Amino acid sequence: MTIDKYLRRNSSNDTFDSLYDVPTGMIVLLSFLYGSISVLAVVGNFLVMWVVATSRRMQSVTNCYIANLALADIVIGLFAVPFQFQAALLQRWLLPHFMCAFCPFVQALSVNVSVFTLTAIAVDRHRAIITPLSAHTSKRIAKVIIVFIWMLALSLAAPMAMSWEIIMVEEQDPVTRLFYEKPFCAPSEFGSNSLAIYRLLLYIFQEKFKKEFKQRFTFGQKRNRLSNDSYEVSEIRLRMVSPTEQEYYRFVPQTIEASL
């Protein structure tokens, strides 16, 4: 049964509609809350992007990543929150068929972009702290990374667009004991199996990534890098003082070590 047949069949069926009656006060309250969240998400994040785009002083690498986070929040505020709200409130899907797969896809896409962008910020800050004297990420490279983040997020969210569909779910009226069908957006039978494999592959990839990260960034390596950078910073500071002061600063540590 399609949504059109469902609507024609139940347009005059008061008993069936009573199964999904929601108090007017609850509808108003939830509509206000969901609407406020959606509007604030879109307006607030748009202002963040506008400030970064119009102010040259704000166009740093970190702020480029933050603007990308804002864009992901705008996408989910426009295409996920409003449509998921009606399904959660009415417990049935009355939107066009393609929206059933589009909404989970957009939600997964936005979450992936946010996670990968936060990871990029963490890696950039890690490099700035561990290797402060080495070359940092330029704005051009940051833009390339942002494009790569969106491509990776699109590829990882693609299974969500192919696994959801509208199915007709039977439900029994507790009063009349009659069974009625309602359209519901859920993973298909094939999609459920595909999503299980998809989540398993993501888990394996995550564990392998954690293992590789721990091997490459151990505490000992961090300590050695930090010591080398600290030594370089000390040498630079010594070059900025007079020769007499340089000899003094080099002589004092040797004297202390000899006394110990």
| pLDDT, tens digit (0-9, with 9 covering 90-100), for 150-198 | 999 999 888 888 877 777 777 666 666 677 777 777 777 666 677 788 7
Q: For the whole model, what pTM was predicted? A: 0.68
What average pLDDT does the chain have?
75
Which pLDDT value is given to residue 30? 80
Which pLDDT value is given to residue 146? 95
Find out whether 183 and 170 touch, Cβ atoms under 8 Å: no
Which pLDDT value is given to residue 110? 92
Task: Give the least confident one: 60-74, 142-156, 167-181, 192-206.
Answer: 167-181
- Segment 17-45 mean pLDDT: 79
- Segment 212-224 mean pLDDT: 60
Residue 12 CA to residue 120 CA, distance in Å, equals 55
